[in-house]
Chain A
Amino acid sequence: MLKFLLRRLLIAIPTLLLIATLAFGLLHATPGGPFDTAKRMPAAIQRSIEAKYHLNEPLWRQYLRYLGDLLHGDLGPSFQYRNTSVNELIKIGFPVDLEIGGVALGLAVLVGGALGLMAALRRNSLWDTVAMFLAALGVSVPVFVVAPLLILVFAVELNWLPSGDWRFGELRYLVLPVIALGLPYVAYIARMTRGAALEVLGSSFIRTARAKGLPERAVIFRHALRPVLTPLVSFLGPAFAGVLTGSIIVESVFGLPGIGRYFITGALNRDYTLVVGITVLYGGLIIAFNLLADLCYVWIDPRVRLDS
């Protein structure tokens, strides 16, 4: 167990380094700089700005400086939002992503799991066929199509919900973004759960449980549910990271103040530190969630060994 953890953490270091290097190198290779403006700045001002952000140094010095700061958890100052550090921007934006992503994925597990289980219990019924067709549709319809259509129906036509904007803790602003972001996951989880449930329900320990006369409810909730849900756990780790990065679209459609929006404008405006910082954050989250999912998996299913 300890060996496994240690090895995973050791792999994480070169991975994060690679991500930081890739993002840093690619961004610095793009033409244009963060302080290019339509009107030419006086040379003295240009020089002093560049000196302030160390842009006048050779690239390798900038790179080493950046890595050094990164090791201390300092992602550097943002070029675009003057007098604000990338850490501060993430602190402002990230809770929004966390809230939307967490709620979306939580609901997706509940709704998708229930749908999939019901489809498996009524296998080959009309209900099963319709649910799985909708799930196949839901997996493939992109978020940026669903989101404007949701706005069209629920905000413009019916006028039930706001079409954008954000206020912390107010449910009305949460509904549409969460549905748009969560829908593909509902569909995916429904399909996964159905597949796993069909396999489990056909296995001999379920037959035993039924044979000894347990009520159907006990068979399903006490015996079948756990093995059905285990494959979901290993999916949830990467899914959570996916929800966080995927919220870039939802944020731009609904005008939410999350970090995805900073990322896009940052990439377009050559805000080197902001873009590299957010990319590294995403990479770190993906690694962390994958590791967490693997650990949970062992905890739920003791037959799985990590060391092998």
Chain B
Amino acid sequence: MSAIIDADLPSRGQWSQSWQRLQRRPTAMAALGILAAVAVLSLVEPLCSAFDFSTPNWDALYQPPNAVHLFGTDGLGRDLLVRLMWGCRISLAVGITASLVSVFIGVLWGATAGYVGGTTDSVMMRSVDILYTVPFIPLVIVLTVLFGRNFLLVFIAIGAVSWLDIARIVRGQTLSIKNREFIEAARVLGLSTATMLWRHIIPNLLGVVIIYATLTVPTVVLFEAFLSFLGLGVHAPLASLGSLVSDGASHLKAHPYLLTIPALFLTLIIVCLSFLGDGLRDALDPREPR
């Protein structure tokens, strides 16, 4: 019980301060607003739309944007708006899930290495060094081929290879708070290593973790789009932003809107996510120079 109060009380003021600092950054707030709008739209629009993402309509092939089909239709007469919203759903879902996976592994790995120290630390961090040199793109392509039938596993795989940065940063932070008085006090109470990590170390890392989690989301979204662009990601008829860009790229001569609209949305999402991450870095870690 005492541990909860210990971790919560001083940090509440800190959170509201950070929130105020974030609100003072117009780019970050705009990015947050746009992202929220895209997220809500992508959840609601497919429910309200008269069209569905997979049924072809042979009477409405390649219609440019018009009143019925706001963003036009593709080569099978499917409404681009609905497919785009499904794409946003998938991109955001993949981004968040895979980032959670990578944050989970990274935080546990880094905090354990930093807190336990000694040989454990050097073995764990040496293996991170080694994993850093594993060529990332080829490895994920191989993983996608291996897990090809199961899309869920694909993005767990993406998350599982992108935790290295977080592990390094978390370890550094852990080293710096490890010798503070409240940790000493908790150790005197005779808590086990697991409880120490979970109750006292990790809650104090949350600021850093949130920053890097937000910065991981755009890289993961990009990665999923990259895989779908190569035809290794989502399976037809489902669409992701990457596969829509890829479809559009093959029709760009005659129907450029099929490329430009998904490309615009993908860029918008990624730019907003990275602006939000930069803003959070300033808000949560005022000492960090920009």
Contact = CB atoms under 8 A, between A and B. Distances in A.
A263 B130 contact: no
A257 interface: no
B142 A140 contact: no
19 contacts: A11-B129, A15-B130, A19-B135, A22-B139, A27-B146, A30-B142, A30-B148, A139-B274, A147-B249, A149-B259, A241-B135, A245-B138, A248-B137, A252-B230, A264-B230, A267-B145, A275-B138, A279-B142, A282-B138
B133 A290 contact: yes
A-side interface mostly: helix
A142 B143 contact: no
B219 to A, nearest CB: 10
A156 B142 contact: no
Given A144-B225, A148-B263, A263-B141, 5 more contacts: A137-B267, A144-B242, A148-B249, A245-B137, A275-B138
A26 B130 contact: no
A249 interface: yes
Contacts, number: 119
A245 B142 CA distance: 14
B236 interface: no
A19 B266 CA distance: 32
A228 interface: no
A283 interface: yes
A263 B274 CA distance: 30
Contact of B253 (A11, A27, A156, A283): A156
Contacts of A278: 138
Contact of A286 (B133, B225, B248, B274): B133
A214 B139 CA distance: 53
A151 B252 contact: yes
Interface size class of A (residues with CB under 8 A): 35 or more
B30 interface: no
Contact of B271 (A29, A140, A248): A140
Interface in B39-83: none
Contacts of B226: 142, 144, 249
Interface of B: 126, 129-130, 133-139, 141-143, 145-146, 148, 218, 222, 225-226, 229-230, 242, 245-246, 248-249, 252-253, 256, 259-260, 263, 266-267, 270-271, 273-275, 278, 290
Interface string A69-89: 000000000000000000000
A250 B117 CA distance: 43
A293 B178 CA distance: 33
Nearest to B256: A152
A192 B221 CA distance: 24
A34 interface: no
B227 to A, nearest CB: 10
B130 A11 contact: yes
Contacts of B126: 11
Contacts of B230: 248-249, 252, 264
Interface string A243-276: 0011011001100000000011001100000010
Closest 5 CB pairs of A and B: A282-B135, A148-B249, A140-B270, A145-B263, A279-B138
A26 B252 contact: no
B134 A283 contact: yes
Given A136-B274, A148-B259, A283 B133 contact: yes
Contact of A145 (B137, B141, B266): B266
